[in-house]
Amino acid sequence: MNILLAILVLGSIAAIFGALLGYASVRFKVDADPIVEQLDDLLPQTQCGQCGYPGCKPYAQAVADGEAINKCAPGGEDTIKKIADLMGVEVQPLDESHVQGDTTASNRPKVAFIIEEDCIGCTKCIQACPVDAIIGAAKQMHTIIIDECTGCDLCVAPCPVDCIEMRELPDTIHNWQWDLTSIPVKQLD
Amino acid sequence: MTDYLLLLVGTVLVNNFVLVQFLGLCPFMGVSSRTETAIGMSFATIFVMTLASLLSYLVTTYLLVPLDLEYLTTMSFILVIAVVVQFTEMVVHKTSASLYRLLGIFLPLITTNCAVLGVALLNLRQQHSFFESIIYGFGASLGFSLVLIMFSAMREKLANADVPAPFKGTAIAMITAGLMSLAFLGFTGLVKI
């Protein structure tokens, strides 16, 4: 008899708590992982795929699942810093294998440049550009809108006559930065 | 009123759950490497422990004792704690996604924090009243939070300190915890009755 009572009591406690949790899971339902949306907003939306993922949204998902935060080349240091703030992790330098162009060269932002006398007007680079920073039409010479170009590199490969190259932006008062890390700081341990 | 205050101070400092009674050491070591996480964990634990001691009191007094089923206490307490933790997890997930991410696995692991079960069982053994149970649970979690946050602040400093190689990481953390425990022994003489 006592055993039956014990089973009944424990069973009813469990049933009440189960109902409570069931209600709570409906009441406090989280639609999607909101962190992915927030990360996606931080990424530059070039969909360039340099991070190794098919676009910005998949990379945002991957970062939310624990992928390294330093793979977005078009976003650069700025984006990495924002992602680090959001995710609560340390800021890391841009991953070496994702630095644009020659890794030995400086890390200054680059934009695509079309050598216009070689351009045959094939429009292949226009189709490749994720941010519509190339203007031109078939059989017409193309050119880059420097302000729109994110330096994602995607137009270089499709060009059949190799007339696109990545050039460093010249220093202007808008993009010049102090090279504050030029004195190497070594942590002793 | 004085009794309640004494009970609170006594639980937070003199009978500190982590450093004097050695309960809840897993999250104490696991979540203390960053202050931010430690603070989040503290709030979650305060919520869970206070609520768990309240609910376990109700379950014992109004269900198990009248029905003469005291031998079910541990089992029903575990049930209560698991539910409270699950509930907390849902609320945290809804309200603060970043805290949810920071706490990660340690949030559901509050279930296995022996301090939570410990506070419920100690409430029973010391025959606390309803309010005493709540204050005891709150004080225990407050003491846990105090120690956890202080310890995480120390560990953040230790990360940059010049620690001999064999003591790096958890080893120096253990030594620090031991020293803190010794320091907390000093509170034993705080209240004279």
Interval A116-126: pLDDT, tens = 888 888 888 88
Contact (Cβ atoms closer than 8 angstroms) between residue B56 and residue B120:
yes
B139 within domain boundaries: yes
Q: Do A88 and B36 touch (CB under 8 A)?
A: yes
> Residue A20 pLDDT more than 70?
yes
Domains annotated for chain A, with CATH where assigned, are 34-98 (1.10.15.40), 102-169 (3.30.70.20)
Q: Which residues of A touch B102 (CB under 8 A)?
A: 88
Q: Which residues of A touch B97 (CB under 8 A)?
A: 30, 33-35
B164 within domain boundaries: no
Interatomic CA distance for residues A59 and B150, integer angstroms = 37
Please tell me the pTM assigned to this model.
0.62
Tens of pLDDT, residue by residue over B58-116, are: 999 998 888 888 888 888 999 989 998 988 888 888 887 777 777 767 778 788 788 88
Interatomic CA distance for residues B34 and A75, integer angstroms = 28
Which range marks the domain in which residue B128 is found? 31-151
B15 within domain boundaries: no
Mean pLDDT to the nearest integer, B137-165: 91
A163 is in an annotated binding site: no
B76 within domain boundaries: yes
CA-based nearest residue in chain A for residue B74: A10
B25 within domain boundaries: no
pLDDT confidence band for A182 (50 / 70 / 90): low
B174 within domain boundaries: no
pLDDT confidence band for A60 (50 / 70 / 90): confident
A72 is in an annotated binding site: yes
- Work out whether strand A143-144 and strand A134-135 pair parallel, antiparallel, or are unpaired: antiparallel
Please spell the DSSP secondary structure of chain B, one letter per residue.
-HHHHHHHHIIIIIT-TTTTS---HHHHHHSTTSHHHHHHHHHHHHHHHHHHHHHHHHHIIIIITTTT-GGGHHHHHHHHHHHHHHHHHHHHHHH-HHHHHHHGGGTGGGGG-HHHHHHHHHHHHTT--HHHHHHHHHHHHHHHHHHHHHHHHHHHHHHHS---GGGTTHHHHHHHHHHHHHHHHGGGGS---
Q: What is the pLDDT of residue A171?
A: 73
Q: What is the pLDDT of residue A35?
A: 79
CA of B134 vs chain A CAs: smallest distance (Å): 20
B7 within domain boundaries: no
Contact of B64 with chain A, judged by CB distance below 8 Å, is answered with yes
How far out from the chain centre does Cα B131 lie? 18
Complex ipTM > 0.90 = no
Q: Which amino acid is at B143?
A: G
Neighbouring CB atoms inside 10 A of B148's CB total: 25
Q: Do A20 and B87 touch (CB under 8 A)?
A: yes
Overall domain count for chain B: 1
Mean pLDDT to the nearest integer, A99-110: 53
B115 within domain boundaries: yes
